[in-house]
Structure 1
Amino acid sequence: MMPDPLISLIVAAIISALLAWLFWPASGLFWRWQRTRELTERVLREDALKHIHQCEIHGDKPSIKSLVGALKISPEEVTQVLTSLEAHELLSTDGTHFRLTPAGRDYALRIIRAHRLYERYLAEESGFDEQEWHTRAERYEHQLTPAETEALAAHLGIPTHDPHGDPIPTADGVVVYPDERTSLTDLALDQTARIVHLEDEPEAVYAQLVAEGLHVGQEIRLIEASPQRLRFWAGGDEHLLAPVVAANISVIPVSEAPREEEILGEPLSNLKPGEMGRVVKISPRIRGTERRRMMDLGILPGTLIEVEMSSASGNPVAYRIRGALLALRKSQADLISVCPEESK
């Protein structure tokens, strides 16, 4: 029995459509899967280069085990990544030991440069919470082309450090790590220092540092140190951290620096309705568009601010600034330091 021509035509059309869906140039499912697989392989290679470079910088020996933890893949997949890096002449191996070639080191620094520049961009010009910067930069660093990276650097004014205090490699692959910085855990008692770096990994530890209100550039003074805790003064308040957390803070000792508790006043959020204070400092944690908005509204050192009223929940609070009313959230007012003044 001859097949129905209409049915044959329909079956042929379905098969043609299916093949087109799978293999259509550029947009077919097969080619999209192929591009995704290639991108994943490239991302793994670049992340491996970064990990090996960081190990070399800190004097550690990279290993298959350390790469398994960093890349979150199996040992067999790590071996494939290492084989690919060696084939691209980015890695040299000697038995169980491996190290970056000059080309591999340059490649790693390009990715690190893109990552830290993008973190700086997020800090200066986005509204993302600072705990999101690292994760977002981890993804975007693989998408920036060299030309886009240099355009971003120029847009940001060729910054030298990311918002966590890490040096940004130059376009020529030069990176300078300060020799004089030390861990907060090694600081002498009653020594004043300045925070120059906050380690942003692991995320849980960095989240704790952010919750404490700590930031790069902040002055700090160690009050007490024991195997169980470190007690120190920073940002006009006392802080307690376990040594394992405090080890993620790098500082540079400062000779005869003024003590913050004597010069920073108190947070604007401490004032009650009817009270007044004069701005003495705006925290560096207020960045980018938010900082420019505050400056446009007249919130500058020397500005007199009066607490007008608070909402039923106590947040936000209305402040009178240069004759105008402005509502600020407590999280914003916490970062504005004022010296209280007598109400007129």
Structure 2
Amino acid sequence: MISPFTSLLFAAAIGGVLLLFFWPDSGLFWKWKRGLASTRRILVEDALKHLHDQEYHGYTTTLSSLSGALTINRDEAAKLMARLQSIGLVKTIGDGFELTPDGRKDALRMVRIHRLWEKYLADETGVAAIEWHKRAEKLEHHMTRQEAEALAVTMGNPTYDPHGDPIPTASGKLPPRKGCQLTDLDVDEVARIVHIEDEPAAIYAQLVAAGLNPGMQVRLLEKSPQRLQFIANGEEIVLAPVVAANVTVQRLPKEAETNGSFATLCALGVGEKGEVVAISPNCRGQQRRRIMDLGVIPGTVISMEMTSASGDPIAYNIRGAVIALRKSQADMIQIKRVEEAVEK
């Protein structure tokens, strides 16, 4: 026969377990329930973004495309799409799906928050380019509309993210897609990079490693099924077509090509001078502001004074002051040697 004391201990233990699971707000059951609701909300928001992306690029969203984008199985994709239809965010069109006006409004809100976060991470933090998209994917689901507008104001209401994607306005306006793939250019055509696709991550990493950024001017040198060779801001780059297809460009007239041969500040020898042409788009945030505060702007003539014993940093004369720059910084400053420039 069980003693009263044992029964009391057993009842206390059961009560403790019940409290652990069902204590108001902080109990494990309620945390699990909130987590499940959050997961469902995130799936809905990610689905809306996928539908918008497909629509923006002229593609039809299918269960297969949705399951692939969200890494869920086809049955889960079907249930998710049924839920979106039931709440009036999606409608069926032929063999696929498209956003309703309400769905498009919610999708653009999520796209705006995502691209604002990418812009913030690129310009205001030291986060590596390959991490911007992944981190923004997590942060976007925990920001309210009001917080997004406050973030936009602190950055001066940017209109494009660091990949060249337009940021929807607060009212949901978005300019139409422009340009063509880099692979569509003919040999000797000149164009400007307007967008670099950040997915899949493995291909984006190759584009980052090649130093490509929106705003760069390119000229195609060679084109074959195996490779594309082109000049980007004075440097020759070779990419496989599957990688180059993730770069969107806008054709320019041949006469618009920047003239002259360019180098970076690192190329100067002791006593040599160069005129600043541009600062690489890879130089962002505080680092870019610091370099510009030193007087490094287009038109400034800089001379190389000396190197340190290790070769890094390097001392340069910038507007009468001798300033040490790391090689990694000097390599982001594009110049024309003074033999090709008019010294100022």
What TM-score do you get using the length of structure 1 for normalisation?
Answer: 0.89
In the alignment, which residue of structure 2 is the partner of 1:269? 266
Asked whether the 8 Å contact 1:196–1:251 carries over to 2, the reply is: yes
In the alignment, which residue of structure 2 is the partner of 1:3? 3
Aligned partners of 1:109, 1:207: CA distance in 2, in Å?
Answer: 26
- How much does 1:4 deviate? 4.7
Aligned partners of 2:285, 2:135: CA distance in 1, in Å?
Answer: 17
What letter matches 1:234 in structure 2?
Answer: A
Aligned partners of 1:32, 1:307: CA distance in 2, in Å?
Answer: 63
In the alignment, which residue of structure 2 is the partner of 1:332? 329
Note if 1:169 corresponds to 2:165: no
In the alignment, which residue of structure 1 is the partner of 2:82? 83
Note if 1:299 corresponds to 2:296: yes
Asked whether the 8 Å contact 1:213–1:235 carries over to 2, the reply is: no
What TM-score do you get using the length of structure 2 for normalisation?
Answer: 0.89
Note if 1:54 corresponds to 2:53: yes
1:242-253 alignment runs, 5 A limit: 242-253=240-251
Residues 94 and 182 of structure 1, relative CA distance in 2, 3 Å threshold? closer
Deviations 1:14-57 (A, max 9, x none): 33332222112222111111111111111111111111222222
Deviations 1:265-301 (A, max 9, x none): 3112223456554433211221111111222334333
- Look up the SS of the partner of 1:167 in the other structure: coil
1:149-298 alignment runs, 5 A limit: 149-179=148-178, 181-260=179-258, 262=260, 265-272=262-269, 275-298=272-295
Backbone CA RMSD of aligned residues: 2.3
Deviations 1:94-130 (A, max 9, x none): 6753222111111111111111111111111111111
Aligned partners of 2:154, 2:95: CA distance in 1, in Å?
Answer: 43
Residues 184 and 144 of structure 1, relative CA distance in 2, 3 Å threshold? same
1:26-45 alignment runs, 5 A limit: 26-45=25-44
Residues 133 and 2 of structure 1, relative CA distance in 2, 3 Å threshold? closer
- Look up the SS of the partner of 1:114 in the other structure: helix
Asked whether the 8 Å contact 2:56–2:177 carries over to 1, the reply is: no
- How much does 1:11 deviate? 3.6
- How much does 1:341 deviate? 5.6
- Look up the SS of the partner of 2:81 in the other structure: helix
Aligned partners of 1:130, 1:292: CA distance in 2, in Å?
Answer: 18
Moved over 6 A (4+): none
- Greater shift, 234-243 or 301-310, is seen at 301-310
Aligned partners of 1:309, 1:271: CA distance in 2, in Å?
Answer: 11
Asked whether the 8 Å contact 2:66–2:77 carries over to 1, the reply is: yes
- Look up the SS of the partner of 2:152 in the other structure: helix
What letter matches 1:332 in structure 2?
Answer: Q
Asked whether the 8 Å contact 2:54–2:61 carries over to 1, the reply is: yes
Deviations 1:157-201 (A, max 9, x none): 22221111111112222211244x122222232222111111111
In the alignment, which residue of structure 1 is the partner of 2:314? 318
Residues 253 and 14 of structure 1, relative CA distance in 2, 3 Å threshold? same
- How much does 1:215 deviate? 0.6
Aligned partners of 1:298, 1:99: CA distance in 2, in Å?
Answer: 51
Aligned partners of 2:161, 2:98: CA distance in 1, in Å?
Answer: 26
**Structure 2 stretches of 5 or more lacking a match?**
340-344
- How much does 1:63 deviate? 1.4
In the alignment, which residue of structure 1 is the partner of 2:342? none
- Look up the SS of the partner of 2:316 in the other structure: strand
- Look up the SS of the partner of 2:260 in the other structure: helix
Aligned partners of 1:2, 1:170: CA distance in 2, in Å?
Answer: 71
Asked whether the 8 Å contact 1:199–1:248 carries over to 2, the reply is: yes
- Greater shift, 24-33 or 183-192, is seen at 183-192
In the alignment, which residue of structure 2 is the partner of 1:22? 21
Residues 112 and 27 of structure 1, relative CA distance in 2, 3 Å threshold? same
What count of residue pairs does the alignment treat as equivalent?
336
- Greater shift, 237-246 or 277-286, is seen at 277-286
- Greater shift, 189-198 or 87-96, is seen at 87-96
What letter matches 2:283 in structure 1?
Answer: I
What letter matches 1:222 in structure 2?
Answer: L
